[in-house]
Amino acid sequence: MTTPVFGRLETVNLRSAWEYEARDFTPWLAANLERLGDVLGCRLEHVQTEAPVTSFSADILARDLRDDSLVLIENQLEEGDHTHLGQIMTYLAGLSVHKVVWVAPSFRDAHLSAIRWLNQNTVDPFAFFAVAVRVVRIGDSALAPLFEIVERPNGWERRVQESAREARDLGVRGQLYKEFWTHFVERWPAEAAFGPPTAVARWRDVGFADLVISQFIAKGGVGLFVRGQRGAPAEFVVEALRPYFDQLEPKLGVKAGREANFEKILSLETAERANWDRMSDWLHEQTEIYVAALKGVLGDRA
């Protein structure tokens, strides 16, 4: 038996990947929000880089497609500092954001305590995160960025389901999404058991292995993918499903993908209500296919 050769995972200086914060790191992060979203447990859509707030500019403004809320992302290449914490509070007051994500290689205890205090003393749907970023490589391999949540809200699993607050906080597109989900469960009443019709996005518990089918709607279509329960690391689905890629891919009709989430999308203009029957039927049918495939392949192993 050949003895495997193992490399050593090494952390490299962030500036080996991004020399300048504003010119390099911020644009890269804005173009790769799915990496950050995987860690946070949400789907992030870029809205604006250097979003103006009076005489200041917030690094990145994004949208969480799970609930259509705006997300402020402030990023650094050096240890989190008091200046950036103050900027975050300024941007929070000037932008209609519900989630704040502060990204830096490290944080002082005092600043983590401040994030913790904000989470404990603000009401839903506000949420504050401190996310540590580092860059690693093995030998001469490509650089790999890693994100780790070091501070998050208590009970991040919570969902805001108060219709009055949703109507007030959601924009025009969010309201349209809510109306689509109402249409969806009216067309497929059995789906009502898996989530409230006022939710902007929905998820269906597979019933084993801590896997969930996430159904979502975005500007360009509807889709679904496999994910872990809220709070599960991004690697969870990869580890759970990797041994079964060859069996699942033909059943689901889609490749596993980089995140092993088997994402599938029906591309249509979601604002066109004439498309809603087709979107609803496709989403319901595909969800049933996904549940059946996962149970068929994994059910006796769960």
Is 170 a residue whose pLDDT tops 60? no
For 133, list phi and psi in degrees, rounded to 5: -115, 140
Is 128 a residue whose pLDDT tops 80? yes
Of 196-200, 213-217, 285-289, minimum mean pLDDT range = 196-200
Mean pLDDT, residues 59-81: 87
- Of 149, 138, 199, 125, nearest to 38 by C-alpha is 149
159-197 as b/e: b if 16+ CB within 10 A: eeeeeeebeebbeebbebbbebbebbbeebeebeeebeb
Beta bridge partners of 151: 130
Tell me the longest C-alpha to C-alpha distance in the chain.
Answer: 66
Residue 72: the pLDDT is 94
pLDDT digits (tens, 9 = 90+) for 75-105: 999 999 888 888 888 888 777 788 899 999 9
pLDDT digits (tens, 9 = 90+) for 99-124: 899 999 999 999 999 999 999 888 77
* Cα dihedral 161→162→168→172 (10° resolution): 40
Q: Using 50, 70 and 90 to split pLDDT, how confident is the model at 41?
A: confident
Residue 131: the pLDDT is 96
Q: Using 50, 70 and 90 to split pLDDT, how confident is the model at 162?
A: very low
